[in-house]
Amino acid sequence: MVRYISDDDSDELTLQEPEVMAYLVLLSNGRVSHSFPLRGEVNLGRDRKNSVVVSDQKVSRHHARLSPAHETFILHDEGSANGTYLNGVLIKQPTRLKDKDRIGIGDTDFLFTNSVADPTAVDQPVFFESKPVAAQSSLSPLALSAANKNTWLILGCMSLTILGLLVALAALLGMFVGRSQVGGWLFFYLMGFF
């Protein structure tokens, strides 16, 4: 919101922005990435008309809205396909936010805070790509390497079996085709009768 204020009849205009009430902090792999000052109603979604634009296929065009209310904000889901999560719980109705609440939309996480979490706060709309986080495996590195060894052992055995079947097929073809044909030469070469 932009207001023009004039104390006298001069042509000077003063640009005054509303005071920052809270911050919406983008988290990337659990760490602070960007900080958005909240000065009024904020819309989140994929559409470029939103205050915060999230390029994430799991986020709806108009996914969620933060509206100011009594020194905090209310989180609204705007009928999104995948829902809006507050501290890991799907919200079904407008919910009042508290300091350090975690907001999840699609694969993107935000932190709602009353104080700035990043000194490089961003005042204008920001466009960013959401990158899915790789799933953490519950197996230890030793268990993973053992699983890899078993996989390679199975692949090796399968390769040898296929090679053996191909040699047997060539031998059978050699018996039926005879020595003058390619199959016959292959049969005698492989059997050592050349």
Residue 109 and residue 30 share a domain? yes
Percentage of the chain lying above the pLDDT 70 cut: 62
Residue 24 and residue 67 share a domain? yes
Q: What is the pLDDT of residue 175?
A: 64
Write the CATH number for 52.
2.60.200.20
Structure tokens at 29: 């792999």
- Distances in Å between the alpha carbon of 4 and those of 7, 13, 14, 40? 10, 6, 6, 17
Residue 151 and residue 86 share a domain? no
Q: What is the pLDDT of residue 180?
A: 54
**Tell me: the pLDDT tens digits for 57-106?**
999 999 999 999 988 999 999 999 999 999 999 999 999 999 999 999 99
Sheet holding 72-77, edge to edge: 95-96, 72-77, 64-69, 42-45, 52-55, 127-129
Q: What is the pLDDT of residue 120?
A: 44
Residue 87 and residue 67 share a domain? yes
Residue 88 and residue 51 share a domain? yes
Range of the domain at 74: 12-129
Residue 96 and residue 181 share a domain? no
pTM: 0.53
